[in-house]
Amino acid sequence: MKKLIAILILALAVQVPAHAQLGGLLNKAKDAVKKETQKAVDKAEEKLDRTASAGTSGAASGSGKAVAKGEIPKGTKTIYVSANKGSNRNDGSKSSPLKDLQRAVDDAPEGAVILVAQGNYLGKLDAGYISIKKYISIVGGYSDDFSERDPLKYRTMIQPGSAAGGTNANYGLLDIYVRGKRTGVILIDGMILDKGQMNKYVIPNPPNPKFKAPEGLESSLLNPPGKQINQPSMNGITTVSNQLIHGDVEGQVTIRNCVFLNGSHFGIQMGNIGGNWNIYNNVFLASRMAACEVRSMNKTPGEAAVEFHNNTVLFTWRRDWVPSDKDMGYGFRYMTGINADVYNNIIGCSDFSALDRTYVDADKSKEAARKTSAWDNLFFGNIEADLAMPSGGGKFLRVFAKSFEDVDQLVKYEGNREMTDAEVKTFSKAVDDAYLKAFLNMEGSSVSTHNPNSSENIFRSALGMNMRGTESNYTSMYGNIYPLEKAFDLFGAMPKYGAQMIEQI
């Protein structure tokens, strides 16, 4: 391309009159040709850049380019929101911000960017969630006057209280359902999502001392929406089984620089209808079920992909509190149909396994076309395994980092390892000390008794009824509240791995 342009310049230069009295015209002509030529070069290189970007950003699926690292999109419109300085009667400008984030989302045109100042945003009439049904960007972490952005200092939160348990029943704190544009952009940046004040927890000092809170913890056990713990509880509302971020999206999704805290039912659980997603530089703490689960909602292999990298994921809990019920408790899940690249994360203290690759597509051709990887991740303190795999015998195969090279389902597998003792000592300084100690010293038991010859069971059997027994369960810890203030210490706790310090934008 550049050689052809150079020949064009030479040809045009030869055609310009060379008479001395036209020297000035010759110079002007040359300058004009150079300018036009440079425009052509710039245009050609820009086209090549776009083509290259498309090739590395899902060209096979026709997807567009996701939000670049550190970039805040310009958008079709910029809307400002401030819980402390705004009013819903304002116009949403920088000098006249709105007060309610849901109002801003509803008023925003497609492609808008919403900048959100510090504060707690609970949705319309404090319902306890924000519903998103269009392609927009939400960027939190601004000071009240929008002169500075620092998500760790100017905290933009969705932190409902217990009263919201009756109004946000089936919604994630961010509930995102958008489809129609493979190139459409959803950006969630610098948000703190916390259900610690909303979930139902056993009170720290219940009548039954076996359910007391471990020393230094704010609450005792999470009282889950499944098997309930028959003890007096904090917050007074039954734990609602909703996610911190939930939804189904077609397009380019970026979730970064966020804190996911005390999720009673997944940190992120979403369906990818088609697009390349990027989930990075987040902290996930005390999630139940899994920290992140993204499933494909597309029939064609390769149409749905996710990168999950530089996240810190700690204390992910099983489905129910009963110790014998080992179901769930994963950091990241490789769901059916999804291409997933997982790297540079710290995943530790999972109640079952750091990674879950047990989902296998029944269509063998689709399963063979999937591309899943796990490389350069650090693991520590995961109770059952670093990677759970199907065994073929109905149970899970438990794999630790040193054996990832032998896992056929991982296209890229290098660099995974357990933290060294020195790394654990350094990293653990950023973790809440009481919470970590309680997890490492966690104990539990399940005891079932059944006497088929008891008078009750003989009578029930004679009437054709099921026999009954008794079950006694105990665990010292399950989904307890992780303190919000300690969550921010995990950003930058370890170079390269896990969440890093958020760029000042």
**What would the pLDDT profile of 222-234 be if each residue is shown by its tens digit?**
988 878 888 888 8
**In the predicted model, is pLDDT for residue 171 greater than 60?**
yes
**pTM (predicted TM-score):** 0.83
- For 6-66, the DSSP string reads HHHHHHHHHHS---GGGHHHHHHHHHHHHHHHHHHHHHHHHHHHHHHHHHHTTGGGT--PP
**CB-based contact 357:290 (threshold 8 Å):** no
Q: What is the pLDDT of residue 399?
A: 94
Q: What is the pLDDT of residue 228?
A: 86
**CB-based contact 80:97 (threshold 8 Å):** yes
Please work out, in degrees rounded to the nearest 5, the angle formed at the alpha carbon of residue 426 by the alpha carbons of 483 and 413.
Answer: 95
Alpha helices in 268-413 (DSSP H): 364-369
Picking from 57, 502, 504, the residue whose alpha carbon sits closest to that of residue 281 is: 502
What does the alpha-carbon distance between residue 347 and residue 284 come to, in Å, rounded to a whole number?
9
* 285 membership: H or E segment, kind and range: strand 283-288
Which residue shows structure tokens 């009282």? 223
Distance of CA 371 to the CA centre of its chain: 20
Please work out, in degrees rounded to the nearest 5, the angle formed at the alpha carbon of residue 141 by the alpha carbons of 497 and 69.
Answer: 45
Tens of pLDDT, residue by residue over 234-270, are: 876 666 668 999 999 999 999 999 999 999 999 999 9
What does the alpha-carbon distance between residue 399 and residue 385 come to, in Å, rounded to a whole number?
6
Least confident of 56-65, 132-141, 371-380, 450-459: 56-65
Which residue shows structure tokens 């917050």? 235
Least confident of 7-11, 144-148, 166-170, 377-381: 7-11
Q: What is the pLDDT of residue 455?
A: 67
Average pLDDT over residues 441-445: 86
At 31, which amino acid appears? D
Alpha helices in 152-301 (DSSP H): none
- CA distance to 348, 432, 477, per residue, from 308 (Å): 15, 24, 28
What does the alpha-carbon distance between residue 485 and residue 180 come to, in Å, rounded to a whole number?
39
What is the per-residue burial (b if ≥16 Cβ within 10 Å, else e) of 350-376?
bbbbbbbbbebbeeeebeeebebbbbb
What does the alpha-carbon distance between residue 60 and residue 236 come to, in Å, rounded to a whole number?
51
**CB-based contact 156:117 (threshold 8 Å):** yes
Which residue shows structure tokens 């950023």? 430
**CB-based contact 98:86 (threshold 8 Å):** yes
Alpha helices in 429-488 (DSSP H): 433-440, 455-462, 484-487
Largest distance between two CA atoms of the chain: 124
Check residue 172 and give left, alpha or beta (phi > 0: left; psi -120 to 50: alpha).
beta
At 465, which amino acid appears? M
**In the predicted model, is pLDDT for residue 163 greater than 50?**
yes
**In the predicted model, is pLDDT for residue 11 greater than 90?**
no
Average pLDDT over residues 113-129: 94
Most trustworthy range by pLDDT among 24-33, 247-256, 361-370: 247-256
What single DSSP character describes residue 489?
A: G
Token pair for 505: 């934008």
What does the alpha-carbon distance between residue 92 and residue 168 come to, in Å, rounded to a whole number?
26
Q: What is the pLDDT of residue 239?
A: 65
**In the predicted model, is pLDDT for residue 43 greater than 60?**
no
Q: How would residue 458 be classed by pLDDT, with cut points 50, 70 and 90?
A: low
Least confident of 30-44, 47-61, 178-192, 326-340: 47-61
Token pair for 265: 């039912």
Token pair for 244: 């911190």
Least confident of 69-78, 164-173, 279-288: 164-173
**In the predicted model, is pLDDT for residue 187 greater than 60?**
yes
- Percent pLDDT > 70 in the chain is 80
At 66, which amino acid appears? A
What does the alpha-carbon distance between residue 52 and residue 258 come to, in Å, rounded to a whole number?
30
Q: What is the pLDDT of residue 96?
A: 97
